[in-house]
Structure 1
Amino acid sequence: MADMDTALKEIMQIDGAIGAALADYTSGMALGTIGGTKELDLSVAAAGNTDVVRAKLRAMEMLGIKETIEDILITLDTQYHMIRPLTGRAGKGLFLYVALLKSRANLAMARHHLRTIEEKLDV
């Protein structure tokens, strides 16, 4: 099992990663961050993406969708932003967030690595 800091460091090993966070979508707080740029404040990004997760969960509830979100992908001109809600009991209400450079990232591999990191994460 990996702790939060180890998991965040592993996320930064994904090709194209420029920043990552573990956040609580019930409070909007980042529990841990790594990387980032002057344009990408990870605490602000994590807090803002809590609204994305909450909105999707509300929409699923209104539609009667009982499935679990694997990940949410936001595609920008030069970046991918991936949100992966944690599915384990201990991770309830938490999500992993990673920003990737489109020019360097392989989206399928990034999703695979993020899934593997989540499976090993112990919060």
Structure 2
Amino acid sequence: MSDLDVSMKDMMAIDGAIGAAVVDYNSGMALGTLGSSKSLDLQVASAGNTEVVRAKLRTMEQLGIKEEIEDILITLSGQYHVIRPVTGRKGKGLFLYLALDRGRANLALARHRLKQIKENLTI
């Protein structure tokens, strides 16, 4: 089993997880997806969230902000969507995407766990 597969299974083991992906934000393509929801198209979500990451990076550059994005959180009435860019040479240009059922998820715990998964990911 590849490290990518392990990372996605670890993301889906987070309480409330309904979908997970590892995405290349240069191309907008998902390197891998895993999900349990028929209503969440992870390929579409990966491409759409690529635009969110690109827009934020552009804005930070225009503002002269030299910090790294920890995560981007999108809250919906029934879901949380967490985007965590992978930093460092081993995963530059990638982000982790996790969709959570808001009623079953603990957002703080999910963010903490996603950080750990990101730190262990090698591609």
Aligned length: 122
Q: What amino acid is the match of 2:44? A: V
Shift of 1:38: 2.2
Shift of 1:10: 0.3
> Which runs of structure 2 are paired with 1:13-32 in the superposition (5 Å)?
13-32=13-32
Give, in whole Å, the separation in 1 of the partners of 2:37 and 2:13: 16
Give, in whole Å, the separation in 1 of the partners of 2:95 and 2:114: 11
> Which runs of structure 2 are paired with 1:20-99 in the superposition (5 Å)?
20-99=20-99
Q: TM-score, normalised by structure 2?
A: 0.96
Q: TM-score, normalised by structure 1?
A: 0.96
| Aligned residue in 2 for 1:101 | 101
Q: Unpaired segments of 5 or more residues in structure 2? A: none
After the TM superposition, which segments of 4 or more aligned residues of structure 1 sit over 4 Å from their partners?
A: none
Q: Unpaired segments of 5 or more residues in structure 1? A: none
Q: What amino acid is the match of 2:98? A: V
Distance 1:13 1:117, change over 3 A: same
Percentage identity across aligned positions? Answer: 69
Shift of 1:88: 1.9
List per-residue Cα deviations over 1:35-60 (Å, max 9, x = no partner).
14222010110011000000000000
Give, in whole Å, the separation in 2 of the partners of 1:67 and 1:79: 27
List per-residue Cα deviations over 1:59-115 (Å, max 9, x = no partner).
000100000000000000100000000012121110000000010111100000000
CA RMSD between the two structures: 0.9
